[in-house]
Structures are given as structure tokens and as C-alpha cells.
Amino acid sequence: MERRSKQNYYLDIAQSVAERGTCLRRKFGAIIVNNDSIVSTGYAGAPRGRQNCCDLNFCLRDKLNIPRGERYELCRSVHAEANAIIAASREQMIGADLYLVCISPADGSVVGGTCCCSMCKRLVINAGIKRVFVRDTVDEYKVFNVEDWVTEDDSLGQRGY
């Protein structure tokens, strides 16, 4: 029997974390790993003490027909990456890897082709995380070098806000 790769092992754990997610659109799970030790975990859900979308039985962004990737300020959830970063010290995150998995709330299947939103990319950069692994299928994943997000700055050539 072939042993599971370390990357898929950590993605499997991130997928289990995603199952705790409370979002009605997509459930994300994230773990931060440094030197083969899990530093922290996070899933998408409302801030502590506030009601989750799954408890309210509606998503405001769905109700307003807001497309995926837009108007995150209307979302009740703190994203999985943000929750994992909040739970760790910067010293633990410098040079670490973040593993991210998205699953469908409808059937628990892996949703491929995802990545961090622009807000979470900024958090990942500032946390000092080196790479982000994102699951596309049960066995396939993409690797993003965070330094590329710095050098491919989306604000270059823009003026003002």
C-alpha cells in the first residue's frame, strides 16, 4: 500500500476542519503547518458569539444575488485563512505553509479551482506564510508561492483608491 503524501495528509486534515464551517455557500478549512507541526486551524464561520448563516438559515449574499468573489463585506463569516492566522503567533507562521480546502455544503464534495480571496492574500502575506496548498480533487492540489502575490501586486499602475 502506498503511503499518502505529506501534502495530501495535511490537506485531508484541512478538509476535516472545513466540515465545521458554517457558510451556506462554501465550507473552507485551513491549517498552518511549520516544521511538520500543525500551528493552527481555521474554518469559515461568524465571529465568536454571533449567529452563523447555517443557524439563521440564509446567506445575505445569496439573498442579494451577489456573485462569488464579490462584496465580502456583506458576509457574516470570518474566512478560514483569517481564523487560522488569528489563532497563531507570527513567529510560528514565518516560513510556514497554509493548506486550504473548499467543500460543498450540499454534499461535502471537494470544490476545486479555489484560492484565497484578495483580503486573505493580504493576511497570508503579512503573516509571513511561504506557500499555500489548495486542494482541487481528493489527490490533486495547486501550490502558490506567497512571494508571487507580493511581486504581482495588483495595485501596480493604479492611483488612489
Which residues, in sequence order, are CB contacts of 108 under 8 Å at separation 6+? 19
> Whose grid coordinates read 490533486?
140
Q: What is the DSSP string of 87-99?
A: TS-HHHHTT-EEE
| φ/ψ (deg, to 5) at 39 | -85, -45
DSSP 1: -
> Which candidate in 2, 19, 73, 81 is catalytic?
81
Q: How many residues does the chain have?
A: 161
152 is catalytic: no
DSSP 6: H
Query: Catalytic positions, please?
Result: 81
